[in-house]
């Protein structure tokens, strides 16, 4: 069974989404089943990492925090954009990552980009360091510390990796 469906959750979600999209009838059923069977197998075949969530509840809480941050801080960025651009103090900040875990690094990079004021500019090969561009800051070190405290710790709990390095 796990040979045929290497990602049961993904298969189920694909099946449900396809049926919602096409409606329930013989042909859509066949199409949805094909999708749920073939796509996860293909993903497993090319070696895409599968990431079991160690703590789904923690993930939901982090998602809520991130959504809230996006809305609140966008207002601050709107003020920066509409104000005099000469006063902005942009900076690059290197954020060292505590665990070289590709999914943590990718998720952290996306969160950093979507929360206003910061954009991920680069991840290095080994996922040990994230380069962040900040739109306006007087204290780059604090930005890095904030990112680690607010998002990285939660992500590491979610993906269940230890801090030891």
Partner 1 sequence: MRAAIEVLISLLLVAGGFFGLVGAIGLVRLPDFLMRLHAPTKATTLGVGGALLAALLYFVGSGRWIVHELLIAAFLFIGAPVSALMLAQAAIRARLPSRAPLAEAGEDEERPG
Among 19, 37, 36, 20, smallest CA distance to 28 is for 19
Among 100, 98, 145, smallest CA distance to 118 is for 145
Select 53 or 119, whichever has its Cβ closest to partner 1. 119
Query: Which residues are CB-contacts of 14 (< 8 A; sequence separation ≥ 6)?
Result: 32, 35, 36, 39, 40
Select 101 or 162, whichever has its Cβ closest to partner 1. 101
Return residues touching partner 1 (CB under 8 A).
17, 20-21, 23, 70-71, 74, 77-78, 81-82, 85-86, 88, 90-94, 109-110, 113-117, 119-124, 129, 131, 133-135
Q: Smallest gap, in angstroms, from Cβ of residue 152 to partner 1?
A: 16
Select 55 or 133, whichever has its Cβ closest to partner 1. 133
Select 1 or 24, whichever has its Cβ closest to partner 1. 24
Long-range pairs, 65-70, Cβ under 8 A, ≥24: 65/150, 65/154, 66/111, 66/114, 66/115, 66/151, 69/115, 69/150, 70/114, 70/115, 70/116
Q: Smallest gap, in angstroms, from Cβ of residue 129 to partner 1?
A: 7
Q: Smallest gap, in angstroms, from Cβ of residue 30 to partner 1?
A: 18
Q: Smallest gap, in angstroms, from Cβ of residue 46 to partner 1?
A: 18
Q: Smallest gap, in angstroms, from Cβ of residue 89 to partner 1?
A: 9
Select 54 or 81, whichever has its Cβ closest to partner 1. 81
């Amino acid at each position: 069974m796990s040979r045929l469906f290497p990602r049961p959750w993904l298969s189920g979600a694909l099946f449900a989404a396809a049926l919602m999209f096409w409606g329930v009838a013989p042909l859509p059923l066949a199409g949805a089943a094909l999708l749920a069977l073939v796509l996860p197998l293909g993903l497993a075949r090319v070696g895409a990492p599968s990431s079991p969530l160690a703590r789904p509840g923690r993930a939901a809480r982090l998602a809520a925090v991130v959504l809230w941050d996006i809305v609140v801080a966008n207002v601050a960025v709107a003020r920066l954009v509409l104000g005099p651009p000469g006063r902005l103090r942009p900076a690059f900040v290197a954020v060292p990552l505590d665990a070289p875990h590709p999914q943590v690094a990718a998720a952290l990079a996306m969160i950093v980009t979507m929360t206003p004021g910061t954009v991920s500019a680069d991840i290095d090969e080994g996922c040990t360091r994230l380069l962040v561009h900040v739109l306006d800051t007087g204290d780059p070190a604090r930005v890095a510390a904030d990112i680690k405290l607010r998002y990285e710790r939660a992500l590491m709990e979610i993906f269940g990796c230890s801090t030891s390095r």
